[in-house]
Structures are given as structure tokens and as C-alpha cells.
Amino acid sequence: MAKILIIEDEISFSQILCKRLNRHGHQCFQVASMEAAFAQIIDISPDAVVLDMKLGEQNSLLQLPKLRQKLPAAKIILLTGFASIATAVEAIKAGADDYLAKPVATQALLKLLFDDSDMNSTGGEQTEDIIPSPARVEWEHIQQVLKLNQGNISQTARQLGMHRRTLQRKLLKKPAR
């Protein structure tokens, strides 16, 4: 059983991720800020860290070298809702072991954290949960942009390059699996 520290300001996402990792026999700890993480890091002594790249207005990349210094043996995975090659390179240079885009599949995360090659035989998730559908990825992206625009549908529609009514229709639909 590994100890995993999840540093994520989106509490619902953090709780879901923690439950999924607990089902695989790991002990999870959740914090919502880097300050809270640094305050508890000695007591927890995690084997792995799952770190959100954007914690509120703060960019976690700036704190990554300090985190790596405090936990030299821990596996650190950076999660982001806005993946790009440039930030992936920057994250690895700053001390992350790997980089994943949200939404993250449990199997993919476990493989990066522990290199579990036989996860399917240990009660892992089904294939549908490993790779999200394009509709689900689109829905997640729309939610991220909407959150960044503080719920402003007109601004979100402009940024996404779609008509406001189209965006409203997409928001009325339930999220795809």
C-alpha cells in the first residue's frame, strides 16, 4: 500500500480521484494548496504526489523544485486541464516525473505512479474508463473554459469559437461518459 498525496484545489475532483486510488489499495491524503502540502509533507511522507498545475491563481510549476527537494524519492505526477508540449517539458525540467492531462484515467495514473503492468488482473477499471470519449473530453474542456470565465457564457463561446446558443445547448446536456 502506497501513500499518495493529492494536491488539488478542485475538491470534488480530488475526492473522486482519492476514492478511485483507495479502491486499488492505496492510502490517499488530500490538500487544496501548496502551503497545506508543505505543512503536512513531513507527517505524511508520501510515496507519490499527484499535483494540479493550477491551484487557484497559483502555478504549481514554480513550487515543483521545492517539492522535489523535500521529496527526492517520491514519484511526482503533474495534472493539467490545459496540456501542451511546452508545459510538459517545463514540468519535467522542474522536477515532475510525468505529466497527464485531465480528465485522467485511473489505470493511466496508476501505471505512471507504480508501473503496474498487471492492473487488469487486480480488479482495475474497464476499458471504457481508461480512454474518455471525445464527447466527454469536449464537455470537460467546455467546463474548464467556463470556469475560467467565471460562468460568462458569451466570453466562453468567443474563446471556444462557437455561437453562444450552441454553447448553451451543449451545457444543457448531461456529461458524456
CA angle 26, 29, 4 (to 5 degrees): 45
Instruction: Kindly report, residue by residue over 126-137, the tens digit of the pLDDT.
Output: 434 445 667 777
Phi, psi of 162 (to 5 degrees): -135, 160
pTM of the model: 0.65
Instruction: Kindly report, residue by residue over 10-62, the tens digit of the pLDDT.
Output: 888 899 999 999 999 999 999 999 999 999 998 999 999 999 988 888 888 89
CA angle 147, 127, 92 (to 5 degrees): 55
pLDDT at position 155 over 80: yes
Q: Cα–Cα distances in Å, from 39 out to 75, 102, 115, 153?
A: 19, 26, 29, 38
Going along the chain from its start, the domains and CATH numbers come out as 3-128 (3.40.50.2300), 132-172 (1.10.10.60)
